Structure formats: C-alpha cells, structure tokens
Amino acid sequence: MNKFGFLLGIFTLILVFLQFIPLGLNFGVGGVSSSWLLTYFGVSNPVLSSFVKFPLELITYGDRQIFLWGMIFGDELYLWFEINILTFIFLFVISILIAIFSIIGSKKENSIGKKLILFSLIAYIIIILYLIIGIPICSQEILGIQFGYIDIFLNLNYGFYILILNCILALVAYLKHPLKE
C-alpha cells in the first residue's frame, strides 16, 4: 500500500468537504464543522464542538472566502455550480476525482495504481494553475470583483498552502509508489 497516496486522499477529502479544521474538540456538545454540508445535505454534528477553527479557505479577499467547494460572501454561502460551471469542474469535480483516485491508487501496487497517482499529481498542478492564473483572468465573472495578478498572492490563506503541500505529497507518492512484478 502506498501510504503517501492514502494520506493524499484523506487530506484532499478534508479540503473538499470541510470549511475549517475543528481544534480543541469538546465531546458531548454539538457544533457545525461544515456550513455547506449542513445547508445542502442537513449534515450536522450532534456530539462535537470545537474551541478553535483552523481556516481551510484558499483565498480571502475582503469578506469573500474562497474554498474548493464554493464561496462564502458575507453570511451567504454559494457552491461553485451556482456561480460558475468551469470553476465547479476545475476546483470541485477534479478534487473529488483526486481523492477517489489517490485512495484507489494507493491500494493498487501496480502500474495502474501509479497512473492513478500520476493523475492526482497532474490534477493538483492544474488546480493550482487555475487558481493563480484562471481566477484573476475571470475574477469579474466568477467573484464579481476585479482581481489583479499580484492581489491573489497577497490574499492566499492556509487552504492554498495545504493544496501546495498536497501537490508535493502527490509527487512523493508517485515517486515512491510500490510496484509488484
């Protein structure tokens, strides 16, 4: 089993489904760990609350918080397929595919598994390039505000750095993938 590939899948799932990492968990009291899961699927959390919320947003620009799954603007929550289909495909659909392929690929110790991990690596590079090049180009259509190329680098948040770490993890997983003859 490719442990790096498995970790990559888990980290990707965290980035796709959570709004923040709850820290200081307090068992016994309910709380919310993902607003979009609560809004769209009614998934709430009856047994856990947290004292600190470690942010997972990719970019914070004024009161806009941009995630892999969508955007929070003020108190309103929007998924990418409501805002822009291209961004929905590039950020959400590809991320889900990365999570699935890296978990399946980590279990397969053959060339197919290695190809699945390679897909995750390439997909991560595409997501990062889309974020730093694609979003500033179409920022008016996607976010309703004009982004400069430099502005995006001034407003990056922890989610983006985790994305880069995941990309490095995908590279390591690809290079270390065990092959059984």
What's the closest the beta carbon of residue 63 comes to another protein, in angstroms? 17
Report angle CA 31, 98, 147 to the nearest 5 degrees. 75
Sign of CA dihedral 20, 130, 172, 180: positive
Select 57 or 90, whichever has its Cβ closest to another protein.
Answer: 57
Question: Shortest approach of another protein to residue 9 CB, angstroms?
Answer: 14
130 vs 149: CA distance, rounded Å: 12
Helix boundaries (H) for the chain = 3-17, 35-41, 80-83, 85-87, 94-107, 111-129, 135-137, 139-143, 151-154, 158-175
Nearer to another protein among residue 26 and residue 111 (C-beta): 26
Nearer to another protein by Cβ, of 97 and 109: the residue is 109
Spatial CB neighbours of 158, under 8 Å, sequence gap ≥ 6:
54, 55, 56, 57
For residues 37 and 31, what is the distance between their CA atoms, to the nearest angstrom? 13
CB of 82 to another protein, least distance (A): 29
Using CB under 8 A, list all residues that contact another protein.
Answer: 1, 3, 7, 21-28, 50-52, 54-55
Whichever of 38 and 48 has its CB closer to another protein, that residue is 48
CB of 138 to another protein, least distance (A): 28
Nearer to another protein, 28 or 42 (CB): 28
CB of 3 to another protein, least distance (A): 6
